[in-house]
Structure 1
Amino acid sequence: MTLEAIDKDLWLAEGPVVDFHGFPYPTRMVVVRLPDGTLWVWSPIELTDALKSEVEALGPVAHLVSPNAIHYLFLGQWHHAWPEAKLWGPAATIKKCKDLPFEAALEDTPPEAWQGVISQAWFRGSFFMDEIAFLHEPTHTAIFADLSEHFSEGFLKRHWKGWQRWIAGLWGITEGKGHAPLEWRLSWWNREPARRAIARIIAAKPRRVIMAHGEWVDEDAGLFLRRAFSWLIKD
């Protein structure tokens, strides 16, 4: 099985390791079944025949979601398989993927089509990149793409060279810290919108945190988020 059931109407799937500027990154997507039985797919991974069959067994794909301008590689592949699905992403993704028919750009307010079970927070203020973080409210699950990277020591030893592992430790993207990459943190020229965004997520009291890259967290989510976003949160 490719899809892993995490909670009621919530699944994730692990994709292949991909190269990102010379650094090997694991890939992960999240699938939510909405109240009407349709599927909301976040950060789609490479679509294999096996994964397609498993997804179709859950219900029809209605929404394909890019959280930031990096997580878009397989949107076209999925949209070809499910042409009726709506495409969603922030303005930066839409600008980058001009060949795909996106809906209005995502900001702080979730579309009504998501039927009230998914809320979101727009992390902006960086000149490098923005990101939409999500919360699946019925299962109290926070979902991040690159705002929190949480690589295990085992993964880094298998896939990253020694100097790359040194960088991972310096950046704090290792298990137990879970920061965003250092160069992205340094690019935040206006942190107030992002502070409001993480405050909204923490105030919702998530019980788990799923991120695209690294070990996801199934307990003490509030503590983890305060540590992962300590560079952003004011005491």
Structure 2
Amino acid sequence: MLQSIADNIWIADGADVSFHGFPYPTRMVIVRLSGGDLWIWSPIDLNEELRGKLISLGPVHHLVSPNKLHHLFLSRWHECFPQAHLWGPASIIGKRPDLTFERGLTDEPPAAWSRDIDQAWFRGSPLLDEVAFFHRASGTAIFGDLVQAFGEDYLRTKWKPWQRCLARLSGITALTGAHAPLDLRLSFLDRRLARKARATVLNWQPERVVMAHGQWQRSGGSVFLAQSLSWMG
């Protein structure tokens, strides 16, 4: 279930979830910080096998949602790891008043992970803002919904023919740009702040790109992201 992609960073793929009737794959990222604590990004559905593997890696201290959509399993995780801090942008803090978050995430990484992880806050849309992350030691950029790269095998297996056509027209497949969905792109009415965040991301010069939905990139991350985020102008 856990796949190591470099020293002190792992990914785990979870079960599909339904988003407006479309099956979406899920993926989380686990980083072991310099002090030994685990930083969990976009937690997937938690089971005992996964819980046991995480405990063997270190103490779970941070549960991170990149935007207001990646919250489905936070309650379960916090029940299992009550000592963990919950993090996310202000938009998810407002959406989940039942959970106690730390301060809203912005461009400035909290001291808890600033030695290991950078971040960039994409804003300008009334629908969604997102914080992207960069694990410096492994050269890995981490995205939630602003980068989607559905593979043809997944679409052929899980999506109906008309849904597959829509995916390609929307540009969210690995072969059609690996963009954010078209409706989300169009909602960025003020793209200046988004372009500023993109400049930060490209300055990281990532080698790998891991996203929640689709085929993650093992190499050539900078070129991949320049193409994926080109719609920002």
Q: TM-score, normalised by structure 1?
A: 0.97
Aligned match of 1:23: 22
Structure 2 counterpart of 1:105: 104
Deviations 1:59-93 (A, max 9, x none): 00000000000000011111111101000000110
Which amino acid is the alignment partner of residue 34 of structure 2?
Answer: P
Q: Shift of residue 222 of structure 1?
A: 1.1
* Unaligned ranges ≥5, structure 2: none
Query: Which residue type is aligned with residue 204 of structure 2?
Result: A
TM-aligned CA deviation for residue 115 of structure 1:
4.2
- Letter of the structure 2 residue corresponding to residue 174 of structure 1: T
2:34–2:115 Cα contact (<8 Å) kept: no
| TM-superposed deviation, 1:157 | 0.3
Equivalent residue runs for 1:203-218 within 5 Å = 203-218=203-218
Match of 2:76 in 1: 77
- Structure 1: where are the runs of 5+ without partners? none
Letter in 2 for 1:105: G
8 Å CA contact 1:142, 1:206 repeated in 2: yes
In the alignment, what sits opposite 2:11? 12
State the one-letter code of the partner of 2:16. V
TM-superposed CA distance for 1:223, in Å, is 1.1
Deviation beyond 6 Å, 4+ runs, structure 1: none
CA distances 1:19-70 after superposition (whole Å, capped 9, x unpaired) = 1110000000000000111100000000000000000000000000000000
* Aligned positions of 1:30-45 closer than 5 A: 30-45=29-44
Q: Look up the SS of the partner of 1:139 in the other structure.
A: coil
* 1:202 counterpart = 2:212: no
* 2:151 corresponds to 1:162: no
- 1:204 CA displacement: 1.0
Distance 2:100 2:126 in 1: 25
Residue in structure 1 matched with residue 178 of structure 2 by the alignment:
178
- How many corresponding residue pairs? 232
Q: Give the distance between the partners of 2:198 and 2:211, measured in 1 at CA.
A: 14
Aligned to 2:63: 64
TM-score scaled by length of structure 2: 0.98
Could you tell me whether the CA contact under 8 Å between 2:120 and 2:197 is conserved in 1? yes
CA shift for structure 1 position 154: 0.4
- Two-structure CA RMSD over aligned residues (Å): 0.7
Quick one: which amino acid aligns to residue 223 of structure 2?
Answer: L
Q: Deviations over 1:128-151 (max 9, x none)?
A: 110000000111100000000000
CA-CA distance at 1:220 after TM superposition:
1.1
Report the Cα distance in structure 1 between the residues aligned to 2:194 and 2:157, rounded to whole angstroms. Answer: 33
Percent identical across equivalent pairs? 52
Aligned counterparts of 1:76 and 1:58: Cα–Cα separation in 2: 21
8 Å contact kept, 2:208–2:221: yes
Q: Could you tell me how far 1:225 is from its partner in structure 2?
A: 0.6
1:152 alignment partner in structure 2 = 151
SS in 2 for 1:163: helix
CA distance in 1, matches of 2:203, 2:117: 15
